[in-house]
Chains A and B, each alone.
Chain A
Amino acid sequence: SQTIHQWPATLVQPVGSPLSLECTVEGTSNPNLYWYRQAAGRGLQLLFYSVGIGQISSEVPQNLSASRPQDRQFILSSKKLLLSDSGFYLCAWSLGTPGDHEQYFGPGTRLTVT
């Protein structure tokens, strides 16, 4: 069976510090991978998605970046965090054409920028 891992579960970082969130998927190959951000009590904002190694699509211009160094690994980074980067970050995967099949979400990372 497939599983998706995200870490850390919670993170408190000062403004201006770097960020690295990691997501890995097990039990499947060639998944589409996604990073979302969710503000408190709000919907999901798609940040990045990837249909293959080294292929990253950015949905929202910001100070975040994403990389996919391996087939089942997706990393979200920032060189300098802003207060507005606080939120709940969710990684997800799907198979086939993006948008055509169900997505499976990780447990999320709660990021607080102070």
Chain B
Amino acid sequence: SQQGEEDPQALSIQEGENATMNCSYKTSINNLQWYRQNSGRGLVHLILIRSNEREKHSGRLRVTLDTSKKSSSLLITASRAADTASYFCATGGYSGNTPLVFGKGTRLSVIA
């Protein structure tokens, strides 16, 4: 079953602007992860945030998690054309041996 749902489905911004993508989910989670996928390629792991964390940074990426609202956001600051890709959130539950559940993704286009 689909757990995470990204919003918006597509986003187009100018180079240098910030990009914000959101992910909402329905059930309790152990962790939430964000991945990037360039066209025709495999997914690349960006960041993992645990349910007891509220914010995490990695370079130009900032992820927040609000477990009370069952939502997360991914912020990419000072975007570049190379950030053009699809971004997926994935949730990990508390049940043992239950794989990640991926959302449908946000397609980000950064225009130079």
Contacts and interface: CB of A to CB of B under 8 A. Distances in A.
A100 B42 contact: no
B43 interface: yes
B100 interface: yes
Interface size class of B (residues with CB under 8 A): 20 to 34
A47 to B, nearest CB: 11
B77 interface: no
B30 A99 contact: yes
Interface in B33-87: 33, 35, 40-45, 48
The 9 closest A-B pairs by CB, nearest first: A105-B42, A43-B104, A99-B92, A102-B45, A44-B102, A105-B43, A98-B99, A99-B98, A99-B100
Interface of A: 32, 34, 36, 41-44, 46, 49, 51, 59, 88, 90, 92, 97-108, 110
